[in-house]
Amino acid sequence: MTEDEQIEEMMARVRKLELKARRLVRESFSGEYLSSFRGQGLDFDDFREYQHGDEVRFIDWNVTARMNEPFVRKFREERELSVIMAVDVSGSADFGSQHLSKRELSAEIAAVLGFSALQNGDQVGLLIFAEEPVMFIPPAKGTRHLLRMIREILVAKPAKQGTSVEEACNFLVKSLKRKALVFMVSDFHAEILDKPLGKLARKHELVALRVNDPLETDLPKAGRVVMVDPETGFETLVNTSNPNLRMGYRKLMTRQVEGVAAVFKKHGIDAATLTTDKDTLPALHGLLKRRGRRRR
């Protein structure tokens, strides 16, 4: 396939993803996004007469002097958010035993959330990371801006294939001067999670979206196979017909998932797991409904 053909194929995938994301947002998603994520501050709205119980610090003394009655400033919640998609494109992101790879699933998630954010009037930015930050696109508005983000998720080729959530968190803590809403999309197969995620969650509003493939949880009974770590290149011969081996693998992966969930809970990070063999909407709906209930 020529380079021009590759570019055309990639743009066709981006356009298809745009149509799907717009439909999902239009039909069933934007309302839940609106009720779950709000601005980080207060904007001045108007003045009104002082009422018993109002905070004295909100009295506007200039208006009070002109009207000969105490008046207070009214505020409305700031609506606009800076939304950052932090997307893992390490070697393991290209794995997929179903119709989507984890990278393609991540792009779909970013598209749905991105169009929801734009419809809400929010700015959207992107951090692509692997073993180190690969690309940062500052928050902005507009469909063309978002489509560029989706395209970059799909085509990014990191020089180092490993995963460092720590490096991604450190970059965001240093780079984002204003409090933002950060969606971190990753399989979270990283050695260091606790401290960097905690540090990022203290400074910004962090939501963790864990992408997973069914074969990462349960090994199929497929005889002897060579397994390759996509991030290190390490190869090993495994007899998947051995029931003890499959059970041991399942327990190991269960402990890994539980360990990551414990880190999220410790730091009050909202999280959802999305898999390559299922529709993304139910898990995202569940996440937003939980957040919406807490806000109400």
- Tell me the mean pLDDT per 10 residues along the chain, length 296: 64 76 68 60 64 74 86 63 93 86 92 86 94 96 92 92 95 93 94 95 94 87 82 84 88 92 95 89 81 65
Cα 4 to chain centroid distance, Å, stands at 31
- Write down which residue in 27, 51, 77 finishes a domain: 77
Contact (CB, 8 A) for 156 and 150: no
- Write down which residue in 54, 77, 100 finishes a domain: 77
Count of C-beta atoms within a 10 Å radius of residue 54: 16
Q: Do 66 and 193 share a structural domain?
A: no
Q: Do 159 and 71 share a structural domain?
A: no
Q: Do 231 and 112 share a structural domain?
A: yes
What pLDDT score was predicted for residue 32? Answer: 65
Euclidean distance between CA atoms 254 and 211, whole angstroms: 15
CATH code of the domain in which 220 resides: 3.40.50.410
Q: Do 72 and 59 share a structural domain?
A: yes
Q: Do 108 and 65 share a structural domain?
A: no
Q: Do 237 and 213 share a structural domain?
A: yes
What pLDDT score was predicted for residue 41? Answer: 47
Q: Is the dihedral angle over the CA atoms 25, 295, 260, 81 positive or is it negative?
A: positive
Q: Do 17 and 52 share a structural domain?
A: no
How many independent structural domains does the chain possess?
Answer: 2
Task: Say what the pTM is.
Answer: 0.80
Q: Do 181 and 62 share a structural domain?
A: no
Q: Do 127 and 25 share a structural domain?
A: yes
What pLDDT score was predicted for residue 42? Answer: 47
- Write down which residue in 57, 77, 97 finishes a domain: 77
Nearest to 109 by CA among 33, 164, 170: 33
Q: Do 127 and 53 share a structural domain?
A: no
What pLDDT score was predicted for residue 21? Answer: 74
What pLDDT score was predicted for residue 237? Answer: 87
Measured CA to CA in angstroms, residue 190 lies from 39, 92, 94, 254, 260 at distances of 31, 11, 16, 15, 10
Q: Do 275 and 185 share a structural domain?
A: yes
Backbone angles phi, psi at 98, to 5 degrees: -110, -150
Give me the residue label for tokens 């999305």: 274
Show the domain range for 241: 3-37+80-295
Q: Do 62 and 135 share a structural domain?
A: no
Q: C-alpha angle 191/195/199, rounded to 5°?
A: 135
